[in-house]
Structures are given as C-alpha cells and as structure tokens.
Amino acid sequence: INSWSGKRPRPNGEPAPIIKEVPNYPHVLLATGHYRNGVLLAPATALMIRDKIIENCI
C-alpha cells in the first residue's frame, strides 16, 4: 500500500486565490492558490482571467 500527502495550495501572506500578472513577465497570468474551493471558484476565475487578457489586448 502506498500513500501520498501534500500541502494544499494555500498562499502564505496573500489572500486566496492569487489572480494576478507576474512582474517582469507581461504575458504570464497566475490563477492559483484556490485552496479547497478550486472547483467552486473556477468560473469566476475564468472570467477574471478573460478580462485581464482582453484588457491587455486593447
């Protein structure tokens, strides 16, 4: 029997989730750290990322 345990993706020192641009990388967006609510927050995260992409294209 094998087992595995990992830490949940909860950010330290920042509110969850992290949805932002990466400094010095203008075409990279982060959408991470949703913790245990990833599936529930996926639609709202997608809308925020979409808006950031559209914002940068104009």
Give the predicted TM-score (pTM) of the model: 0.73
Domain total for the chain?
A: 1
**Unique residue bearing structure tokens 């990388």:** 25
Residues 6+ apart with CB under 8 A from 28: 21, 22
Q: Is residue 49 part of a domain?
A: yes
Task: Give the integer Cα–Cα distance in Å for 21 and 25.
Answer: 8
Range of the domain at 50: 18-57
* Amino acid making up residue 28: V
Q: Is residue 32 part of a domain?
A: yes
Higher per-residue confidence, 53 vs 7 = 53
| 48-57 long-range Cβ contacts below 8 angstroms, 24+ apart | 48/19, 49/19, 52/19, 52/21, 53/29, 56/26, 56/27
Higher per-residue confidence, 45 vs 14 = 45
